[in-house]
Structures are given as structure tokens and as C-alpha cells.
């Protein structure tokens, strides 16, 4: 008997989950993740998330250090003071998300959508923002100067005081005070 496509997919998923468990990495599907959040869990380091739906989610103060959130929809989510250090968020949707005070240091946000996101007082040290869209984002008091921002879109973005975008060369300059 030939296994169905779904059976093959389940087998591969179970194999991957077993491998991650051997490494001490917990695997949570969307339902398990939301149950853990409802129970008040705040630390998701060393956790593998499978197809999480985080649209408009309340994730304030959660620790997602090192978690893979590639292509996850976090639009309109509240991520105030959230730890996202070394988090992989390639192609993630963070449109209109509230990231006030979040730590995004060394996170990978390549191709991410952050239009109209609130990034005030956010740590962006060594964050990869290549080809990200920050149209209308509020970057006041953020460390955008130390982020890697090649081909990043900043149309209508609010930059930190004393920082100007030189559009012809796509780089920032710090104006002396």
C-alpha cells in the first residue's frame, strides 16, 4: 500500500519533531502556542513554532529569543518590551505592530513588512533590515543607526531626532547637535 501525501507529510513532521526534541527544542503548533499564552507563559526560547497565527496577538513582554518567526503574520500585534534578540523574521508581516521598547538586536528582518509599525525606543543594534518596508514607521529613540538597512524603504517614517535620510545614497547621517 502506497502512503498518501498527507501520511508522508505527517511522517516527516514527526521525524523533525523527534529530532528537535532530542536537541531540547520544544515544538508547538498554533493551538498549543495560544494555550501556553493563555496560561501566562512568557518564555519561548528553544521553541519551534509550527504555523503560528499571531495576527492582533497580545505578546507584551514575551521572550522569543532565537525563535524562527519567518513569514509569520504579526500585523497589528502588541509586542511591547518583547525579547526578539536573534529572532528570524524573514518576510514576516509586522504592519501596524506595536514594538515599543522591544529588543530586536541581531534579529533578521530581511524582506519584512513593518509599515506604520511603532518602533519607538526599540533596540535595533545589528538588526538586518535588508529590503524591509518601514513606510510610516515611528523610529523615534530607536537605534536605527546601528541596523543594517540596505534597500530598506523609509517613506514617511519618523526618524530619531538628529537623523536624516539621504535619499540619493540610501544612508543615514547623524546631524551634530
Contact 85, 62 (CB under 8 A): no
Tell me if 16 is assigned to some domain: no
What's the pLDDT score for residue 43? 98
What's the pLDDT score for residue 151? 87
Tell me if 25 is assigned to some domain: no
How many CA atoms does the CB half-sphere of 73 hold within 13 Å? 6
Tell me if 18 is assigned to some domain: no
Is 134's pLDDT higher than 90? yes
What's the pLDDT score for residue 19? 64
- Residue 69 grid cell: 518567526
- Residue 167 grid cell: 535619499
pTM of the model: 0.82
pLDDT category at 159 given cuts 50, 70, 90 is confident
Q: Write the DSSP symbol of residue 52.
A: -
Q: What is the residue whose three cell numbers read 518567526?
A: 69
Total domains present in the chain: 1
Q: What is the pLDDT of residues 4-38, one digit of tens each?
A: 888 877 777 776 766 666 667 899 999 999 999 99
Calculate the alpha carbon distances from 40 to 10, 59, 62, 85, 160 in Å. Answer: 30, 10, 10, 21, 34
Q: What is the residue whose three cell numbers read 527544542?
A: 25
Q: Bridge partners of 165?
A: 172
Tell me if 157 is assigned to some domain: yes
pLDDT category at 169 given cuts 50, 70, 90 is very low
Torsion of CA 44, 49, 51, 55, to 10 degrees: 10
3 state SS of 29: strand
Instruction: State mean pLDDT over 110-127.
Output: 97
Q: What is the residue whose three cell numbers read 546601528?
A: 146
Tell me if 118 is assigned to some domain: yes
Phi-psi region at 170: left, alpha or beta (left = phi > 0; alpha = psi -120 to 50): left
Q: What is the pLDDT of residues 68-77, one digit of tens each?
A: 999 999 999 9
Residue 28 backbone dihedrals phi, psi, to 5 degrees: -130, 135
Output the domain CATH number for residue 108: 2.160.20.80
Tell me if 38 is assigned to some domain: no
Structural domain harbouring 127 = 53-177
10-14, 63-67, 93-97, 105-109: least confidently modelled range: 10-14
Instruction: State mean pLDDT over 91-102.
Output: 98
pLDDT category at 173 given cuts 50, 70, 90 is low
Tell me if 127 is assigned to some domain: yes
Instruction: State mean pLDDT over 45-70.
Output: 96
Tell me if 128 is assigned to some domain: yes
Amino acid at each position: 500500500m502506497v502512503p498518501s501525501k498527507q501520511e508522508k507529510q505527517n511522517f516527516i513532521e514527526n521525524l523533525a519533531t523527534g529530532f528537535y526534541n532530542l536537541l531540547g527544542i520544544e515544538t508547538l503548533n498554533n493551538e498549543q502556542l495560544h494555550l501556553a499564552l493563555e496560561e501566562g507563559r512568557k518564555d519561548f526560547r528553544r521553541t519551534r513554532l509550527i504555523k503560528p497565527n499571531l495576527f492582533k496577538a497580545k505578546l507584551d513582554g514575551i521572550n522569543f529569543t532565537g525563535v524562527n518567526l519567518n513569514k509569520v503574520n504579526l500585523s497589528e500585534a502588541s509586542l511591547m518590551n518583547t525579547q526578539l534578540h536573534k529572532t528570524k523574521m524573514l518576510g514576516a508581516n509586522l504592519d501596524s505592530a506595536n514594538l515599543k521598547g522591544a529588543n530586536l538586536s541581531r534579529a533578521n528582518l530581511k524582506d519584512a513588512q513593518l509599515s506604520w509599525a511603532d518602533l519607538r525606543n526599540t533596540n535595533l543594534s545589528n538588526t538586518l533590515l535588508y529590503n524591509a518596508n518601514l513606510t510610516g514607521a515611528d523610529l523615534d529613540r530607536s537605534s536605527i543607526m546601528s541596523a543594517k538597512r540596505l534597500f530598506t524603504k523609509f517613506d514617511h517614517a519618523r526618524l530619531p531626532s538628529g537623523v536624516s535620510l539621504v535619499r540619493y545614497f540610501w544612508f543615514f547621517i547623524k546631524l551634530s547637535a
